A and B are shown apart, each in its own frame.
Chain A
Amino acid sequence: MSLLSSTTALLGKELRTEFRSRELLTTTVVFILMVIVLFSFTFDPTYNESRRFGPGLLWLAFLFAASLMLQPCFLREQNNDTLSALRLSVSDPFAIFLAKLVANTLFLLFTEVLMLPVFAVLYNVPVLRVLGQLLLVFFLGSLGVSIAGTALSAISAQARMRELLLPLLLLPLLTPVLVASTQVTVGLLDATPFLEWKGVGFLLVFDVIFLTALWLFGEYLLEE
């Protein structure tokens, strides 16, 4: 099987598993909602303040949610003893990572898109006029989070205290994603919105570097 066909098959499996229970998506959505509400108590969410702090809080909420959401990614395979079967079923182990990271990106994007109107309404931030550009940043940011997170969840699944370990390993690694996506979002939510191409390019570079690293070293992460 080629990389593409095995990835599509595995991606179908990931999506089916999630949409049968929808556990991951519902808990993540509620988690982000809670962070958005709780954050409003830490500063005065006026029109101007929200524009300054809003993007940062939104991305922090996404990052924390992702570090929880990516937890079961490999843990599930391990608990069900399906990792060996997965490895045997594909010729290139990169397909497993690719399928999982595409699925995670889709899940993250889905929750982000769902939460964006809630954020816009609660914090009085106009998002409709820059929706396309916002989705581009959401996509590139979530892709970066998913690439690093999928790789690290393969590590944390096999360690003790794994629930704590994944955020610990993932969050410092994602500093560049947080900084760049927040900055681009700040520009987009400005009174005169602008798209900072430097930030978009930076996110792209992050994604490419970590995807290459995962492609080079991913197979070692799945060793028994």
Chain B
Amino acid sequence: MKKQLLAAAIVFLLVGAAAYGAFFVAPTERTMGPIQRIFYLHVSSAWTGLCAFFICFVANILYVFRRQPQWDWLSISAAEVGLVFTTVVLVSGPIWAHPVWGIWWTWDARLTSTFILWLLYACFLLLRTLVEEPDRRALFSALFGIFAFLDVPLVFGSIRWWRTQHPQPVVMGGSGSGLDPTMWKVLFFSWFAMLALMALLMRARYVMEAARGELEMVRHEAEAV
């Protein structure tokens, strides 16, 4: 308990420092002004969400081949935390886009694929609530998770090729797009803070899911007796 509190305090400080960096250390962007500072939350959450989904995918594969409930617990923790970070991305995106582009949303490759990614993992969690038997639930959701993750590059590719009519209206169009070195540093620090937050949340969720799994097992045994 003490260790968890300490970890939470460290993560709190890290996120606070990242916010400080975003507001006071990073230079103001020339054309967009202060609103661009949401970038540090937006992009770092997006990367963290993707990391969480990747962890979920690895856990799914490991569950299918090893059948240890730990991998199932890890996969649901990763999927839920990833979904939270992706929600942050989907909400902070329009808040940033409206003053800058003049529109809340555009159906370009990155936005649309993030949305589909969000939908896929929302369905992943939904599927888990609809299968009663724990082993079957774990196996089916793991298999769906694998299919969903395989689908992500295809979704991105298809939308990028056919649905994005204009070049990216975003400033950071890739590496070497002229991001200030301080901006890069703040961005990476924010990402690090978000990863720490992700680890903290995932651990808490994992402990909860493990307890639930054990309770389910005990209940099952009690029913058998």
User: Does B201 count as interface, using CB distance less than 8 angstroms?
Assistant: no
Number of interface residues of A (CB under 8 A): 30
User: Does B55 count as interface, using CB distance less than 8 angstroms?
Assistant: no
Residues of B89-132 whose CB lies within 8 A of A = 116, 119-120, 123, 126-127, 130-132
B132: A residues at CB distance < 8 A:
160
A160: B residues at CB distance < 8 A:
130-132
Q: B116, B130, B158 — which one has the most chain A CB atoms within 10 A of its CB? A: B158
Q: B64, B116, B131, B143 — which one has the most chain A CB atoms within 10 A of its CB? A: B143
The docked-state distance in angstroms from the alpha carbon of A152 to that of B131 is 14
Specify the chain B residue showing the minimal Cβ separation from A199. Answer: B162
Tell me whether chain B's interface is mostly helix, strand or loop, or mixed: helix
User: Does B144 count as interface, using CB distance less than 8 angstroms?
Assistant: yes
A210-B150 CB under 8 A given contacts A168-B123, A176-B157: yes
Range class of the B interface residue count: 20 to 34
Cβ–Cβ contact B148 & A173, under 8 A: yes
The docked-state distance in angstroms from the alpha carbon of A159 to that of B130 is 6
B116: A residues at CB distance < 8 A:
172, 175
Contact of B161 among A169, A198, A213 (CB under 8 A): A198
Q: B144, B157, B162 — which one has the most chain A CB atoms within 10 A of its CB? A: B162
The docked-state distance in angstroms from the alpha carbon of A169 to that of B147 is 10
The docked-state distance in angstroms from the alpha carbon of A155 to that of B158 is 26
A161-B130 CB under 8 A given contacts A172-B116, A217-B64: yes
The docked-state distance in angstroms from the alpha carbon of A155 to that of B159 is 27
Specify the chain A residue showing the minimal Cβ separation from B159. Answer: A179
Residues of B170-188 whose CB lies within 8 A of A = none
Cβ–Cβ contact A179 & B130, under 8 A: no
User: Does B155 count as interface, using CB distance less than 8 angstroms?
Assistant: yes
Cβ–Cβ contact A159 & B161, under 8 A: no
A151: B residues at CB distance < 8 A:
143, 147
Tell me whether chain A's interface is mostly helix, strand or loop, or mixed: helix
A210-B130 CB under 8 A given contacts A158-B140, A202-B158: no
Cβ–Cβ contact B147 & A172, under 8 A: no
Instruction: Report B71 CB to chain A, min CB distance, Å.
Output: 14
User: Does A223 count as interface, using CB distance less than 8 angstroms?
Assistant: yes
The docked-state distance in angstroms from the alpha carbon of A205 to that of B144 is 19
* Contact digits for A188-204, partner B, Cβ 8 Å, 1 yes 0 no: 00000000001100100
A155-B127, A173-B147, A176-B151 provided; 11 other pairs, C-beta below 8 A?
A152-B147, A165-B130, A172-B123, A173-B148, A175-B155, A175-B158, A175-B159, A176-B154, A202-B161, A210-B150, A220-B139
The 7 A-B residue pairs with the shortest CB-CB distance in the complex, in nearest-first order: A176-B154, A176-B158, A179-B158, A159-B130, A172-B119, A183-B162, A160-B130
Q: List 23 A-B contacts (CB under 8 A).
A: A158-B131, A160-B132, A165-B126, A165-B127, A165-B130, A168-B123, A172-B120, A173-B120, A175-B158, A176-B151, A176-B157, A179-B162, A179-B163, A199-B162, A202-B157, A205-B154, A206-B154, A210-B147, A217-B64, A217-B146, A220-B139, A220-B143, A221-B140
Please give the residue numbers on chain A whose beta carbons come within 8 Å of chain B beta carbons, in ascending order: 148, 151-152, 155, 158-161, 165, 168-169, 172-173, 175-176, 179-180, 183, 198-199, 202, 205-206, 209-210, 213, 217, 220-221, 223
